[in-house]
Structure 1
């Protein structure tokens, strides 16, 4: 830490008066530019010190700090110091040099754990980070201060000194032998001043060598002391004015302070033993009532120095008139009946009213001088219950004699074995003069081997008067093991146990809690010997009140167990660098706080951002390995604390990227475009860490100087590049940006080609209907390849794409009408255009048609007039015959065919009409007609005959051949019929014609 003082400054010429203070006051003279600030001297003030207040090389300054001059012991001396430079000016010089630095510093220093008390040489618990510093930005840096000046001086006092290497949010001081104050300072990284100041805490080192062991009623007139039982009851007669309460100690305190309240109230301080409540050499006659006595032990006289311990005791004093003895083991307390045994020489024992203290009588033992004179009553053994060895017995009795100075008298409790063999006794000399009786207390412990126990008296002469023997087992509660505190984390629990014993009754417990050890509250239900706290979030004090059901038992309190609650462990890490080159290393630092019983920070890492973590070393910082390959690595820190309720802390994760040497490669979405087109180049860069943007470079052709273009991960080539070859590459510079080197990419060669063009266009033709035609095109240019789309149009105006027609040639389907065709040539490359071919016209002629007419039948000897037709593209035709007949004109479609004898003989002939256009797009066609030549029937009119004039003749015609039936027709008006009767008047020739079923006929004459 550079600066340990704050100053309030006022200028008087060249002399500065500065008093220790928290904040600056506004100067009254020339120092008007100095602003209020905290903790360190402002830079303006330091500069002013350097430039304004030197006198001949000596700085004159009066600095009263904490009641004395800095470097002097007298407030009346002025400090004219060259040595001031050793304590301040060096700091001022350094701060002055840093005056130009600006930062966003903390505005609040947060809080640290509370004060503690330890034994000399002990180690205090770690000071925890209760609340973190706030305000400002950046990493918090810490520095701890300490001082042995107590109480803790103001912040900025010269007594504070920095602790080396104390740069974490928490701090463990180590063993201490002197009470020490601690404080934490904080600042943001990059700031010169530690402007954040926590609260100051005190670790008190207990240098006491004495402890309080209990109280006793100290007998001031001889005889036994009366043991003191916390919460016990005593009588005014029992105590009288012969006893003083004494504090018993182990070791020698500097002083003991008694504070008495209740029936009486006063305070007394004793600086030397014996430590009596009302002061040694005084007398005290207690009043009846309840008392509370607080006893404090101090290391120094008159209640000064360290409080070594304290305890509060209670007891009651009752009036003797009650003659109460709860739990009395003596059946005949006043020796009034036959339970008493005695031995005397010339003496006597009886009971009467003389000097009776309780009841109507008291035991009176008349003793003859000399001899063995005793009186006793058995209180244990035989028919009475035995009392365990080691039992503390509280024994009191009233006793007196007439001549205490002339004879020896005593009261005693005696112990015997089972054979009445004497073991030992506890006795007190009776020195009270009748008729007054004194109270005598015998504190006795049952010795080993005891069976019988008696109480009684002994004397050498005169009388011994006794009354109210009271033997009881006092209720004594002893805590053998106090509950122990612990340090836990917030939300944790702690189990405490007390171990205690009692001489009477059954123990009972009531646990209490307190936020500060002063105000105690019973914990509901916490009534057993152990108690588990609930989940705690603040430090809490605990104790247990232990009581017993036995008569006279008083509740005592255990020592305080402090359960110190610390914040849960927290840890965060930072890395000096998050990006490294291969073979480089960086340092990671951990800031941890909270937790109890914590192990050293465990560092872990893993390759990548998923997967199992791998343990590294331990400590508040770690350096990364220089052998890590390129890639991402994650680091974290574990802060494991075994304290109760402590949740192990896992830090934030820091990702460190290790970059390989830079590499850059480029690619193009295309390496060839048409003139006017462009391509997109993409760069993929890796490695190198922090790098400049990719720089693109270009050159014309494949040799020559490269020209820088623009920067970025992509580049669009110029659309104005000429047809030809061009080259591109990328340059990746990481050095100038603080990265790991430079890299040059591969070279992309880029070609600009001409647009698509057609050198040979498709040609048309003429076809007969239903013909096909193949068209083809020859084209060049474009990129990456040419595409073709054939189109058709009925008129050359409206064009339609032909599905699937995407090659350099196209064969039309069979078409029936004239159609125009063209091909669209294109390329998908950037800038590539589209070109249409010339239209190719495919002209369609109609198909030739021919019809030979219907089949015909003719009778033999007849000709056939044909009825053929032709159409379509046919303009001429020719008849042909399968026979040997002749045509009147074979080129006429209605030619006359004359069957030949062979045709007639054959009965049929086939005539074919064929188109006979010259060779062309349309194919010749033909058709046939079948001519059936039927035979004519023959008829016989009968033989010629002669008749006489006037006579009649029956003419009968008989037909044959041809196809029946036949029809007969006679000339000369005879009509039809096969037979006719004629009566010619002259010689007459008659002709008969027979016609068959097909109309063929034959004739015959008869005369």
Structure 2
């Protein structure tokens, strides 16, 4: 207490004293400051005495004042606490001393039963519960002039968890069920359980998926229970739902079957279980005697018969929510086969006869036979070609019979025609032959009998020396050579009624093959080389070879890829030879190219190293081979004495030293086409320690 209202006049000395045990900052100051002792505070007051001395010969003077000392209120709002949302809280751990009054306040909107009591009871508001916590403040008023005292506690309000397992549901066997209508509020943990033996995908998901077991399906239902845990101190909650499991209908339409076009079909192999109703349907337009029974009888329509088959589908309705089940069978409808061997005909000897007027309907198999000894090109073709034998020609006629087989279970049919055979001129153009592009060809193997005149013709534009003689000489044109072959036809006129006779031979004109191994090339060691500039014309076979020991990916590719061997690389080059073969009777061809192989530069920047900040570093452990130039570079800003030599000296910059390390890269240029090679080393730069006592 500063004695600010005290005063002294005409005093040569002021002296303060106390009947207590407190202390003055200066007993000789008029407005001294007094600090009470603990004993003064306990006593509640102290008498302070001012004694003044006058100038001689005047007497001194004395005066007193009483200083009352009131105690300061002390409060504690008590420990922080947690309650459930539906509870109130009594502040039993709050304490207060030396107060004249108390008042509880809240930063929320809840209420106190009596805000002036120490152990007041607080009821949280809806807003407090929504906020999750509220701060409660206890304020105590002290006796004047002491100030009020206050303290806070935090009341946390946990929310009550609720469980809703969702509505009861029904599923079909074989299905899983997602509990999509289930919900849980304010839960710290959700746990599903079952009175069956099925499984959840995750027992802790609100909308978990349950897969019934075989036992659950057999029982027909299962009870699923949701248990939720609340945040402490709230209690948990439980709810249940019943999941009903209905059986799925199973059907089989039976085995596929085949009938003849005039028949009906009874579906005796069809089966069905667990159905509420059945229905047969058809992809066609035929009819069932009763489409709602299992073993219905189906009568195909004309459209079904024309289509050749119809799909019959059996659909079974299941108890809801199971879906309908269906299965199909294919009823194949075979048509009755008919045979028509065609009209009688006359041919000239030496000719074959195509039975073009013959026909067969709905036949699965056609078979021709003859009362002669000639031959068919294919006895199973409707319009087969018959070639008479010498005996047939001598007899002058032959009877040809068509027999047809129906698709099971229909029966077959047969029909006949008579083929008359007249004599015919016979020619042969000779054997096919091959010449080289610069040659002519004499048709020495041609033959002809029973003719009145001959004529050679060509499918190309070459010329005959005499086209009316048997052994004519043919000279190919440029167009014939470009085409690669020409057909030469010999035609002989027969005596009536036989038609002219002709025969062909093919004269193949082989082109002279040429080889081009491509331009000489240079590669880098370790590389393969694709002979992309190589070419070959008119070659029937390309073969690559090497005077080295490397390998080709395929020696018969024009643009093969060559991989040099270690010996090839050591020699520095290899000669690659392309050999081409012409189509007979032309000769082959050869060409070569030289493949140069340059070595690849190899570098090592040397071992990582560490220097002190004031040092330089000589790169003595660096190595390099097969290079044409070197260059050192740095990730920092230091300098090399000569960046183009192997054992360069590096001087770190201030920035390098500050960074603590720098990466030095050595790059070597290879002889083209080899690429540059590079390697790094890390130079760590330690800082110099300094001492200052």
TM above 0.5, yes or no, is no
Using structure 2 for the length normalisation, give the TM-score: 0.33
Instruction: Look at both structures and tell me which one has the larger radius of gyration over its CA atoms.
Output: 1
Using structure 1 for the length normalisation, give the TM-score: 0.24
Bigger relative contact order (CA 8 A; separation at least 6): 2
